[in-house]
Amino acid sequence: MKLNGVATRSLWFEEDGRSIGIFDQRRLPWAVEKIRISTAEQARNAIAEMATRGAPLIGAAGACGLAMALTDDSSDISLDSAWELLVNARPTAVNLRWALERVRTLVAPLPPSERAVTAWKEARDICDEDAAMNHAIGVAGLELIRKIAERKNGNPVNILTHCNAGWLATIDWGTATAPIYMAHDAGIPVHVWVDETRPRNQGALTAFELGGHGVPNSYIADNAGGLFMQQGQVDMVIVGTDRVTANGDVCNKIGTCLKALAAKAADIPFYVALPSSTYDVQTPDGAAVPIEERTQDEVRFLTGPDENGVMRRIALTTSPARNPAFDITPADLVTAYITDKGVLNGPRELHEALSA
């Protein structure tokens, strides 16, 4: 995708062959700043502190972090300790464990002298595969948007999304946003309702992305979507996901389940976009997913620049707070899953297509 008119990915490999670059998403959308990561510890911190975020992207960053560790020390002890360090950076998104396990399984049987080169190649392959899967998601989801557009007589297709499931959360294209970008590029009128997604306000990243691509969008409070659905101002909901369990339950950013319930009540289709790497056949249902609880200060404080561009932190309350980062949307609230294997209707189709 493009940033300020320049084609880029959200993660890139530096010329030294042993480090990567990412955008510091804690600074977006106010400032575009880059971070260079050269060690497993730095990769772990970037993931845990949300300098980089999004299930597919943290999986790729974790794979690169493991390759960095093996570049410095390719022993069994280094491999195991780096894997443990990285896999615990964030517990909910399955892509992180998936990518780390993929690299570890590949390099563990090799002589130590071959491990680093092999790990770096696998990390690059993971990145390229993610971009390809997201492109395929876009192609599949485009047809859903096109069908609605045919009924709209030239009026925009109004799409609501929650959190950031765009190219900043993946290697390229995004999951929920890929069909939107392709529809816009195909000349189909679209408009996106972008949930703010408190408390980390990842919706601001989605609005930043969409605006940069020229896609009409409106940034709305998290609780506004239900009203717009009741008023007929939403044609479809598309969200990403950090993990889909074997029975089709969807773990995504906190607030997703409420949007699914509102969509069900308003008879609006609710779609979940995911690459194959986000399907977790090992976890039976949403109740078995570990839900990350982050610091209460993310809820109790707001951080951002004032009118002079000075970053400030504002207290909202002194009350204790709870801050679960994810919730579970039951499979029976999902209209269909938009995947790199096509649009899949229900948990059985999902399992048959993605569990191989």
Q: Which residues are catalytic?
A: 242
Cβ proximity of 85 and 56 under 8 Å: no
d(CA 73, CA 18): 13
Q: Read off the amino acid at residue 353.
A: A
Residues counted in the chain: 356
The radius of gyration of the chain's CA atoms, rounded to the nearest angstrom, is 20
Measured N-to-C along each axis, helices 40-48 and 76-87 cross at an angle, to the nearest 10 degrees, of 10
205, β-bridge pairs: none
d(CA 259, CA 310): 34
Nearest Cα to Cα of residue 334 among 236, 253, 233, 255: 236
Cβ proximity of 23 and 34 under 8 Å: yes
Cβ proximity of 197 and 162 under 8 Å: yes
Nearest Cα to Cα of residue 289 among 332, 254, 257, 242: 242
